[in-house]
Amino acid sequence: MIAAKRVTLTFDNGPTPGVTEQVLDILSARKIHCTFFVLGKNLMSPGGRELAVRAQSEGHWIGNHSFTHSVPLGDRPDAEYARREIENTQELIGELAHPERFFRPMGGGGLLGPHLLSPAALDLLQAGKYTCVLWSSVPGDWKDQDGWIEKGIADVAARDWAVVVLHDVNNACLPRLTEFLDRLDSLQVEFRQDFPEDVVVTRRGEIVSPRISEIMA
Ligand SMILES: [Zn+2]
């Protein structure tokens, strides 16, 4: 017998009023728990924080995905930039944060590379005891609203435990999210909320992965 594939779903770049509610409804109906990697700027806009509160109250984990989601941290080495992007967002997340203090770097359309972190950003993640989480599947829901499902299913089928990046933003995964979850159900995957070791770079501030050298400027 072949062991079931495991899948951890993550939703980045929200919360987005009008979208995140529907994603939460879909997940709640299926009792699937995920992590929402939120943007600080979205927590400051109307309705944003309420959605993060709702997500957390429904059992999802809230992670930090930068404040502006503009220039990747590895492309701007100054410490002040890293501090603003990471710490200001963490302050806004406040008590909604998971104890592991999840942080996911941004940029590059899902490619791993030195654009993701600067040395100053890594210092900050270590000092702040963050758990830095990457991914193993980026199906591209924001750029290919139809094709992302096939890519996502292929990624899940290719690994024992995929960490899939989707986006709770406009014009991304929402229109076909139910169909994607139906397809995963038909593959009898095990939905997980935690992260496999191969996507974790720092755990509570300790560097646990040799991949740090791949993703730092
Ligand atoms: Zn992102």
Alpha-carbon distances of 4 from 88, 160, 185, rounded to whole Å? 39, 8, 11
CA distance 80 to 207: 22
Degrees to nearest 5, angle at CA 22 with 18 and 25: 145
The CATH number for 6-214, chosen from 3.20.20.370, 3.20.10.10, 3.30.365.10, 3.40.50.970, is 3.20.20.370
What is the whole-number distance in angstroms between the Cα of residue 2 and the centre of ligand 1?
33
pLDDT at 195 > cutoff 90: yes
**29-81 per-position pLDDT tens digit:** 999 999 999 999 999 999 999 999 999 999 999 999 999 999 999 999 999 99
**106-149 per-position pLDDT tens digit:** 998 889 999 999 999 999 999 999 999 999 999 999 999 989 99
Residue 4: the pLDDT is: 86
| pTM reported for the whole predicted model | 0.97
What is the whole-number distance in angstroms between the Cα of residue 43 and the centre of ligand 1?
15
What's the whole-number average pLDDT of the chain? 96
Domain residues of the chain, as ranges? 6-214
What is the whole-number distance in angstroms between the Cα of residue 136 and the centre of ligand 1?
14
What is the whole-number distance in angstroms between the Cα of residue 86 and the centre of ligand 1?
13
**Which residue from 111, 110, 128 is spatially nearest to 64, judged by alpha carbons?**
128
What is the whole-number distance in angstroms between the Cα of residue 185 and the centre of ligand 1?
26
